[in-house]
Amino acid sequence: MPTSDPAPARPRSPSPTWRVLSLVLAVAGGLATDAAFPERGWWPLAFVGVGALFVALRADRAWWGALVGFAWGASFFLVHLWWANEATDTVPWLALSLMEAAFVAALGAAWVWARRWPWLRARPLAQAVAFAVLFVGAEQARTEVPFGGFPWGRVAYSQVDSPLAHAAPLGGEVLVSLLVALVGALLAVAVLRLAPGPADATTPPPDAGRVVVRPRTGVPVAVPVLLAVVLATTPALVPLDARAEAGTLEVGAVQGNVDEPGLGSFANRAVVLNNHLEGTVALLDQVEAGDLDVVLWPENGSDLDPQTNPDVAAGIDAAASDVGAPILVGAQEYPPTGGRYNVSLLWEPGAGVVDRYAKQHPAPFGEYIPLRSFVRLFSAEVDRVTTDMLPGTETGVIDLASPRLGRTVPLGVVICFEVAYDTLVRDAVDAGAQVLVVQTNNASFGYTAESTQQLAMSRLRAITTGRATVQVSTVGVSGVVAPDGTLLQSTALFTPDQLVASLPLRTSLTPAVRAGYAPAMTVLVLTLGLLATGIGTGTRARRRATATDHSTEAPDAPEDPSTSSAAP
């Protein structure tokens, strides 16, 4: 009879054939997952990619699971983050991509350990749930560490046009990613039921002398398929409210463009500033002076600080006066104590700066260099960042006084990569922001998918928070997004353009905003619990197996009484 905590089957080394097949499957899964994101946007492939990883991780060896996970992660991130190579150099791109892939490697090993829990081994559907939790746990971990984390490439960002996006107001990107991973794992379970192999993780191989727990009943293929279909489509029933709750805000957004794509974008001082000054005046081709509540400029829309350059201040003030509206200016500040801030300045005509936000999460190795002397050993590119950026300390809310509305409108502001961090956006909305502004500078990334990947994040933020969102870039892609994630307007890359929009202002809070960090914390706790349970039960079983082996060994020969000092 099986014991309550039986010894698991001894791990077996994967066969050479399966090693090759699993690595090929892992690489194909990583590439398929990337194709779910912009530019291609084939969002169903996210299910295929995650499912391929589940199948590829069938062998019961932790080291092999780590290798397979790393192969999946490397194939995904090396392609997905190609824009980093465009903006920096090969070494930083490789370092970032492989560091992110290491989290998927940890997922591979963790999955092998977790499923050694006998209860889990016996239940394929429960395995799908557990795998989805571990997958999102690994995503959340790389969102937070090291150096504040890097959330780029979370599978939730691939789903802005899928039914699963409707789950975002309920649980944010954590819930959306969890559903993607669960649908993929359920489909993989169905595939494994059709073609089980000798290394099938859902059916442990026999081991002579050991009691193993086998699945109580076979799971019909239709069950995981039906569950996957239900999970992938049911969120569409969740309504997404895009109605105005507190009036509308009339905005203009200016994409000024640069002289040349790439690293030389800001080589000529004041060119970017002049482009945005001209673009602001060009808004008068679409509206009358005074019609707009605010004009939005991108990150680094002014490549010179208007607070310390009188000529720059005069130019911005003149443009604001011409259009009859304040300008939200992206600029850099250099405090006398050293360092610099990436700031968003609200410039009122005739008054200057009346409110300010400083970027809270500078990008490591892009805007500041941790471990500079050590990193320089691998790439001299670190010295391109001559002055490290300092983190701001205030929540991203800028108060805009609107004479037309007769009140102050809180704008939620994040700068560039900050849109990838849900906590920063959520904090702004929780602090009262009624609309979101994402100021970004994509000039260094050339004609890559970086800007459209970022726009997908802005769209998911709009859905999660129920806030209209404007992403405004120096070079594109800029876009206006409704509170339900619909892309209302967008621009092309490396073209000067202007957008005019009437944004619905909203004050209600979605369940995802109210929940705060709870969904992420829940996933992390469950991840640690699964890992601890799998490792703990496996360790206890191995100890009992060792003790059983020792007890069955031949006893020592009895001592000859005639030679014993204790003989009578």
In a domain, 364, yes or no: yes
Residue-level pLDDT at 546: 67
Mean pLDDT of 364-385: 72
Residue-level pLDDT at 277: 97
Instruction: Please tell me whether residue 507 adopts helix, strand or coil conformation.
Output: coil
pLDDT band of residue 3 (cuts 50, 70, 90) is: very low
Sheet strands side by side (includes 479-481): 397-402, 407-415, 435-440, 469-473, 479-481, 487-490
Which tokens sit at 442? 């994509």
Q: Is the dihedral of CA 138, 442, 276, 310 positive or negative?
A: positive
Is pLDDT of 4 > 60? no
Could you tell me how many residues make up the chain? 568
440 and 484 in a single domain? The answer is yes
Buried b (16+ CB within 10 A) or exposed e, 107-126: bbbbbbbbbbbbebbbbbee
Best CA proximity match to 53, nearest among 96, 105, 12, 116: 105
- What confidence tens digit (pLDDT) does each residue in 43-79 have? 999 999 999 999 999 988 899 999 999 999 999 999 9
In a domain, 557, yes or no: no
pLDDT band of residue 265 (cuts 50, 70, 90) is: low
Helix ranges, 352-421 (H): 372-375
Q: Is the pTM value of this prediction over 0.95?
A: no
pLDDT band of residue 6 (cuts 50, 70, 90) is: very low
Is pLDDT of 216 > 60? no
Residue-level pLDDT at 87: 85
Which residues belong to the active site? 299, 359, 416
Which tokens sit at 400? 């805009």
Q: 407 is in which domain, residue-wise?
A: 248-509
In a domain, 150, yes or no: yes
Q: What is residue 340's DSSP assignment? A: B
In a domain, 5, yes or no: no
Report how far residue 268's alpha carbon sits from residue 517's, in angstroms, rounded to the nearest whole number. Answer: 43
**Exposed (0-12), middle (13-18) or buried (19+): which is 536, by Cβ within 10 Å?**
middle
Strand stretches in 434-549, DSSP E: 435-440, 469-473, 479-481, 487-490, 497-504
Mean pLDDT of 272-295: 97
More confident residue, 367 or 347: 347
393 and 373 in a single domain? The answer is yes
More confident residue, 369 or 340: 340
Residue-level pLDDT at 11: 53
In a domain, 163, yes or no: yes
Instruction: Please tell me whether residue 502 adopts helix, strand or coil conformation.
Output: strand
172 and 43 in a single domain? The answer is yes
Residue-level pLDDT at 380: 65
Residue-level pLDDT at 559: 37
pLDDT band of residue 555 (cuts 50, 70, 90) is: very low
Q: Specify the residue for token string 């699945």.
A: 215
Residue-level pLDDT at 406: 96
Give phi and psi for 561, each to the nearest 5.
Answer: -55, -30
CATH number at residue 353: 3.60.110.10
Report how far residue 498's alpha carbon sits from residue 297's, in angstroms, rounded to the nearest whole number. Answer: 10
Provide the Cα torsion 24, 29, 34, 35; round to 10°. 100
266 and 187 in a single domain? The answer is no
291 and 143 in a single domain? The answer is no
313 touches 352 (CB < 8 A) = yes
173 touches 179 (CB < 8 A) = no
pLDDT band of residue 199 (cuts 50, 70, 90) is: very low
In a domain, 503, yes or no: yes
More confident residue, 165 or 388: 165
428 and 466 in a single domain? The answer is yes
In a domain, 287, yes or no: yes
Please count the structural domains in the chain.
2
The helix (H) or strand (E) run that includes residue 116 is: none
528 and 465 in a single domain? The answer is no
262 and 156 in a single domain? The answer is no
In a domain, 562, yes or no: no
185 and 262 in a single domain? The answer is no
Dihedral-angle region of residue 153 (phi above 0 means left; psi in -120 to 50 means alpha; beta otherwise) = left
Residue-level pLDDT at 18: 83
411 and 531 in a single domain? The answer is no
**Lowest mean per-residue pLDDT among 90-104, 111-125, 368-382, 385-399:** 368-382
Residue-level pLDDT at 219: 78
The helix (H) or strand (E) run that includes residue 278 is: helix 271-282
Instruction: Please tell me whether residue 479 adopts helix, strand or coil conformation.
Output: strand
Q: What is residue 368's DSSP assignment? A: B
- What confidence tens digit (pLDDT) does each residue in 476-525 have? 999 999 999 999 999 999 999 999 999 999 999 999 999 999 999 999 99
505 and 529 in a single domain? The answer is no
Is pLDDT of 385 > 60? yes
- The mean of the pLDDT values for the chain is 88
Mean pLDDT of 452-468: 98
Give first-to-last CA distance, the chain, whole Å.
Answer: 47
**Lowest mean per-residue pLDDT among 15-24, 126-135, 238-247:** 15-24
320 and 413 in a single domain? The answer is yes
More confident residue, 106 or 269: 106
Best CA proximity match to 51, nearest among 283, 307, 232, 273: 232
